[in-house]
Structure 1
């Protein structure tokens, strides 16, 4: 029985992303080391996550949903740290991978990492180039989808082995030292498939409509609100306009993260600058099948 790492997420009916999360972490860590908060006690989630540790909670809508969610996840992370060296925590559409060039799985990598620290992978958003990638995703995501863009907002401190608080959204922690290992990436899957994007956004818009709070009143991302959504196909068609970068070498991103590392005001959290980077990359062949 391995005690190197556990994975923790919270999900509400996102079957597409949960299947990917389970394939990735369930097969690598063992389902017995995967912890899923089933928001609303959905039957689909419970069935898909059989063999994992499923924690059912009420699904009543609430304007401060994200604040409550991360307060709970913070406490779960610190509890799991009593039994695991590392806890990987994040949204169900966020998966951490090791660059295949480095060799070995994420679990094997974490077996070599000292405890009492926080690791921050570089964030990459998988984008569906609907003009170039007509095939639907069957099982593997990287293969049918090969294009990514830099996503500093998703360079999250998501592998925790220290007693630190995580900020709402998982974007910041109280760790004073930035550790962004060269082989680690976080793939954000929100835009990996046009059809799934439309389905998920419809569901999220329905939730915020039921809550009844405005964008300004609710402690949750603007993208959950229909008025901030925009036209779906236009969002994906715009990916074709991003400049295609020739080399997949992101060492400069990590250097910039370190160079801009600083306290986040008086909050007790730490941060690096998160500019909007233009451009897109084609993932090298070695990444095919990593998720």
Structure 2
């Protein structure tokens, strides 16, 4: 498939999310335009990513692995930019989508978008309302799951057609202009299914236990550590009490992002404020089946 848009991620195990990632980006961009860095040469990853560009790397546990991961991703992105107009980069549980109201799919949308910039989709966290959504997720996530919550930490500058450096975690870039197209969203899937969450967190806790490093040494989020995990069922039950809004008009969030846009100290990175929002939203019916 001829494409001037590429997608890249790095994954160790996480079959549920990798399957969704490959289904989404492989279907829109063509698998030959998708790069999967296989941390640990996992056989399941290689099988699920068949047809993609799979780069195998050693998986020995070591501290500072998130810094090293983003150093690698930065270099891969900048290399791919020599051949593609836009490169989408992020974790395997993050998917960029175009609001179906726009009328274009992701590939067409980005082909119509100027290059030499960094785009920041609005971050939404897909959550499993276990009290309202008993259906399992398998080959489709949106439909069985339609509740989302605002996730400023996942409004990431993840569509790159500029030589800007990306910070660890993908949260910031050294690019001084904020582009937040109205039709673009980044869907974070970590909480989209309770059973999958439990399995994934068990695996991530095992990784940090093998590394034997502290949060500071590993340079990764506290949620990877068993002692900071908390009780899973209580976490999901907490979603039940949040206010639910059906007025899916989020322009006010993007306006707040622009008002607080500023340099991030002396680092060369730029950022907006990322407050916590308590509200949930119901995705309009038009999003069903999108991922």
Task: Compute the TM-score of the two structures, normalised by the length of structure 1.
Answer: 0.99
Per-residue CA distance 1:121-152 (angstroms, 9 max, x = gap): 00000000001111111211000001000000
Q: Which deviations, in whole Å up to 9, do the C-alpha atoms of 1:223-267 show, x marking residues without a partner?
A: 000000000000000001111123010000000000000000000
Aligned-CA RMSD value: 0.7
Task: Determine if contact 1:3/1:83 at 8 Å carries over to the other structure.
Answer: no
How many Å separate the matches in 1 of 2:204 and 2:39? 13
Q: Which residue of 1 aligns with 2:98?
A: 98
Please state whether the residue corresponding to 2:215 is helix, strand or coil.
coil
Look up the match of 2:216: 216
Distance in 2 (CA, whole Å) between partners of 1:181 and 1:214 is: 38
Alpha-carbon distance in 2 for matches of 1:12, 1:187:
20
Write out aligned runs for 1:2-151 (5 A).
Answer: 2-151=2-151
Please give the secondary structure, in 1, of the residue aligned with 2:177. Answer: coil
Q: Quote the Cα distance in structure 1 between the aligned partners of 2:48 and 2:207.
A: 22
Kindly tell me the number of residue pairs found equivalent between the two proteins: 291
**Contact 2:126 2:147 survives alignment (8 Å):** yes
Q: How big is the shift at 1:97?
A: 0.2
Whether contact under 8 Å (1:3, 1:85) holds in the other structure is no
Q: What's the CA shift string for 1:64-111, capped at 9, x where partnerless?
A: 010000000000000000000000000000000000000110000001
Aligned-residue offset at 1:3: 3.7
Per-residue displacement from partner, 1:162-204 (whole Å, max 9, x unpaired)? 0010000000001100000000000000000000000000000
Whether 2:259 is the aligned partner of 1:259: answer yes
Instruction: Determine if the alignment matches structure 1 residue 245 to structure 2 residue 275.
Output: no
Distance 1:46 1:80 in 2: 20
- Structure 1 unaligned regions, length at least 5: none
Runs (4+) off by over 6 Å: none
Verify the 8 A CA contact 2:3 2:30 in the aligned structure 1: no
Deviation at 1:4, TM superposition (A): 1.7
